[in-house]
Amino acid sequence: MTVEKMEFKTEVKQLLDLMIHSLYSHKEVFLRELVSNASDAIDRAKYESLTNQDIAENDGAWRIKIITDEAAGTLTVSDNGIGMTKDEAIQALGTIARSGTKEFLQALQQKEIKDNPELIGQFGVGFYSSFMVADKVTVISRKAGQNGNGGVKWESTGDGSFTVEDVDKAGKGTDVILHLNRDERKYLKEWEIKDIIRRYSDFIEHPIVMDVEREKRSEIDKTQRVRIKEEETLNSMKAIWLRDKGDIPEEEYNEFYKHIAHDFTNPAKVIHYKAEGTSEFAALLYIPGKAPFNILYKDYKMGPALYVRRVQIMDHCEELLPPYLRFVKGVVDSSDLPLNVSREILQNNRQIDLIKTNLTKKVLDTLADMKRDENDKYLEFYKEFGRVIKEGIHYDFARGEAIADLLLFPSTRTGESKLRTLQEYVEGMKDDQQEIYYAGGTSVTEILKSPYMEAFSEKDYEVLVMVDDIDDFIFSGFEYKGKKMKSILKGDIHLDKKADADQEKVKKEFDRLIELIKDHLKDHIKDVRFSGRLTGSACCLVADEHDMDPQMEKLLKTMGQDVPAAKRILEINPNHPLFAAMNTVFEKDKNNPILKEFIQVLYDQALLLEGSKPKDPGAFTRIVTTLMVENLEKNLSA
């Protein structure tokens, strides 16, 4: 038979190199991943056999078998699941066909991967973990439901290439044969395999079997004991979610979480309950302790596994929870849905809507309880998932305030050391304060020192600090307890009526200078006006009330979005001595070139305060240097 040699795609080569040459502290993860893949293959075959009897091939005794051969040094994980065609084997084992691959590889390179074994399972590249313990991997597979015994053999030593050839295989499914490195032969030992299966795969619903040698009394001569091989099932196959939660120890809950989430850390919270009445279902959900590195990527697989009367229908059912709770892992088992339910049916299914409503409320209530009763644990959770939870403010209007109650923020009252709730903010508002003020940016320290804060500090109005890229998009116009949220970086600010009246008096004095500033900067700014937020600084740039926040603008641009640049408003502080001096120069000679230079420096200064670069950094540096020299010369000659 013809053997074809092919090259791995570049990403797989990089992945293999990282796995083979990195000292992994949890190498046994390879067996968990292979068993998990085998279970998925059986789940798919079992599901497809509901509508196509040929898939079962009269062999409905679904199972996973582990075979050891100490003489050959091989460990085989065999299943009678869906199997693969030759093309599917090339595609599935020779490429990583999903977006985010480069980010995944960067995450592996940047982190100590020996401390992050969960990355492998989360990204769905568990098969390649075989090369951590094997110097050669052979895969023999035949697609279920096809005529004849035609299968495919895939083989690689992890050197950047693999071979494929046509072979005969009697039964459906896949055999993964690991030719173990000499240093990894412990994985052929019965006790080692049993320990790994018990820890990581005990809850797989299909039997995981292995031939074990046992000493028994001889049937022929009762006085003699003989050694015989018997097939033993290694996992309990208990549907943990259908059991009484009073009978399940915490350790068992944690191990099941690690199995379904491909995580090595314990969950932050377990939610286990059964719903009865109009919709009957059992749910076992977990709130993780750590965020997966790819939770913000588009291809992140969300939603608990959906079972119908213990038959797995989908491993990730997105319809069961809203996107802002996508970090929740678990299992939902319904008694009301048909076994052949499809994604299309789920999208407009009343039972699914009822389950989703129940699950969403249960998760939000659990988080609220954690925040109230387990503050330290909630703070850890919020550091990991706070940004994701915030999305609910935008996408789930009906639950807006319940979600808002879960949020935490640094503020001008607490600094960086402590976080505030919106409820605490509202309770601490001044009597004359009508709005909840917030400021966005990239750093808490920078925001707290920002000149935009000046008038608020003077009035002792608390300002919430927001550093997530989506904050302004989420909170712009949002109301909490009847109080509207307002960004201090946008729109006009009027905190002091007396100061406003004083500004009206000096407006005529600066009118012509302001017109000159407007004219000089007409290509860059929308308007020039007196500021109600500055008390010590000379100027700043602000967005119009309904314009996009600069942070959101930058985010969309990095995502490749074509965002039209919105012109900002230049606000000036009429009480700053600079403007009195500029006005004096203007009154003497409105064409004095120093005025245009100062106006440009003002604008560049405002850009820097906003977190942007000056339009012409070279010119900005030259003007500032010149001003410094002139000032020094005056001081020396005085």
Is the domain of 632 the same as that of 529?
yes
| Domain-embedded: residue 46 | yes
Identify whether 343 is part of a domain: yes
Residue 103's pLDDT is 56
* 618 domain residue, yes or no: yes
Same domain, 18 and 133: yes
- Binned at pLDDT 50, 70 and 90, residue 436 comes out as very high
Q: How far apart are CA 410 and CA 572, in angstroms?
A: 28
Least confident interval from 137-141, 162-166, 416-420, 436-440: 416-420
User: Is 259 in the same domain as 322?
Assistant: yes
Low-confidence winner among 10-14, 19-23, 434-438 (lowest mean pLDDT)? 19-23
Same domain, 104 and 134: yes
Rounded CA-CA distance 402/609 in Å is 35
Establish if 44 belongs to a structural domain: yes
Reported confidence tier of residue 253, pLDDT bands at 50, 70, 90: very high
Query: In which band, very low, low, confident or very high, does the pLDDT at 102 lie, cut at 50, 70 and 90?
Result: low
Is position 493 within any domain?
Answer: no
Decide which of 126 and 44 is more confident. Answer: 44
Mean pLDDT: which of 455-469, 499-513, 611-625 is highest? 455-469
Q: How high is the pLDDT of residue 273?
A: 92
Task: Specify the higher pLDDT residue, 48 or 332.
Answer: 332
The better pLDDT of the pair 103, 68 is held by: 68
Same domain? 246 vs 391: yes
Residue finishing a domain among 198, 233, 268: 233
Q: What is the pLDDT of residue 428?
A: 93
User: Could you tell me the residue range of the domain that residue 456 belongs to?
Assistant: 408-487
User: Same domain for 228 and 145?
Assistant: yes
Are 229 and 244 members of one domain?
A: no
Residue 328, CA atoms < 13 Å, CB-side half-sphere: 32
pLDDT-wise least confident of 251-255, 427-431, 607-611: 607-611
Closest CA to 404 of 475, 501, 306, 495: 475
The verdict on 523 and 612 lying in the same domain is yes
Confidence of residue 39 (pLDDT cuts 50, 70, 90): confident
CATH number, residue 598 = 1.20.120.790
| Averaged pLDDT, 541-569 | 76
Please count the structural domains in the chain.
4
Q: Closest by alpha carbon to 438, among 410, 408, 416, 465?
A: 465
The share of the chain scoring above pLDDT 70, in percent, equals 90
> In terms of Cα–Cα distance, which of 83, 78, 90, 76 is closest to 44?
83
Q: Which of 102-106, 198-202, 508-512 has the lowest mean pLDDT?
A: 102-106
Cβ contacts of 179 within 8 Å, gap of 6 or more = 72, 73, 74, 134, 135, 136, 137, 138
Residue 106 sits in a domain of what CATH number? 3.30.565.10
Q: Do 329 and 413 sit in the same domain of this protein? A: no
Tokens 């040094």 found at: 73
Residue 62 domain-assigned (yes or no): yes
Residue with tokens 């994980």: 77
Looking at the domain assignment, is residue 338 inside a domain? yes
- Look at residues 373, 397, 421 and tell me which one is the last residue of a structural domain: 397
CATH number for 348:
3.30.230.80
Give the domain-ending residue among 375, 397, 419: 397
pLDDT of residue 24: 54
Q: Is the pLDDT of residue 97 over 90?
A: no
Specify if 495 maps to a domain: no
270-314: pLDDT as tens digits: 999 998 877 889 999 999 999 888 888 777 889 999 888 777 778
Question: Do residues 519 and 601 share a domain?
Answer: yes
Q: What is the mean pLDDT of the chain?
A: 86
* Reported pTM: 0.70
Query: Is the domain of 187 the same as that of 72?
Result: yes
pLDDT in tens, 463-497: 999 999 888 889 988 999 999 999 999 888 888 77
Pair (252, 203) in one structural domain: no
